[in-house]
Every structure is written in C-alpha cells, then in structure tokens.
C-alpha cells in the first residue's frame, strides 16, 4: 500500500519535471530571435580593426530578446512544481494521520485486553480469601 503511493508520487514529480523541461526548451519564434535588418553591422574594415578607434553604431539600437514567454513558462513551471510538492506533502500527512489512528486503535485493544486479564486475576477465589 505504501509502496504504490510512493511510486505514484515519484511518477507525478517526474512527469511535472519533464513537462517543465519540455516547456523551457520549446523553441521560441525564430522571427523574434533575429535582430532587425537595420541593426546589423557591416563588417569592419581592416584599417579600423588595427587602429582600435571608436565607431558609433548606425541604425536602430533596440534589442529584441524573447524573454516574456520564457519568463511566463519558468514561473508556470515553478508554480506547478510547488503545487505538486504541496499536494505530495498533504497526501503523506493524511497517510501518516491514518496510520497513527490505526496504531492508537491497536494500542487501545491491547490495553483493554490487558485490563480484562487483570480484572480476571483479581476476581479469583484465592485472592478474594486473602483480602477478606
């Protein structure tokens, strides 16, 4: 009974982990990864490479990094993992409470059986004669 729950819990965590990895490794839109054509630099001339002089960039200076989708995916994966962890802890806690109740019931049975045996021993005729 306990082994099946452990295997299911591990399977759940592994599935969520694989889902998170798949979501994070999903290829982004290639159009978003390409810099705008106006921002591409022309190859530097041989003279400017050797001189090390400053050349200002011409064209648009906006960067287009597709981070929004990755950010949302990462937060979603973290929330899913956190939710799965909390559900797993809740299930383990419920199982532990159930097991504790079973142990308490067994202890009550043992204690009541011992109390009956003590009562039987106290009601023996030989013991009653000694007391009187």
Has residue 47 been placed in a domain? no
The number of domains in the chain is 1
State pLDDT tens for residues 32-73. Answer: 556 555 545 555 555 545 567 777 777 776 767 678 888 898
Has residue 49 been placed in a domain? no
Contact 95, 5 (CB under 8 A): yes
pTM: 0.41
CA distance 92 to 15: 19
DSSP structure class, residue 54: -
Q: 83 lies in which domain range?
A: 2-42+57-131
What is the band of 88 on the pLDDT scale with cuts at 50, 70, 90? Answer: very high
């Amino acid at each position: 009974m306990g082994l099946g729950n452990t295997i299911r819990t591990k399977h759940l965590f592994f599935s969520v982990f694989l889902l998170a990895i798949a979501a994070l490794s999903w290829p982004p839109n290639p159009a978003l990864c390409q810099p705008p054509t106006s921002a591409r630099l022309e190859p530097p001339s041989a003279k400017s490479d050797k001189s090390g002089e400053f050349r200002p960039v011409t064209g648009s200076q906006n960067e287009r990094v597709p981070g929004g989708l990755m950010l949302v995916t990462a937060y979603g994966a973290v929330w899913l993992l956190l939710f799965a962890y909390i559900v797993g802890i809740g299930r383990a806690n419920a199982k532990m409470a159930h097991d504790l109740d079973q142990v308490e019931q067994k202890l009550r049975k043992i204690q009541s059986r011992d109390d009956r045996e003590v009562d039987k021993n106290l009601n023996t005729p030989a013991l009653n004669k000694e007391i009187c």
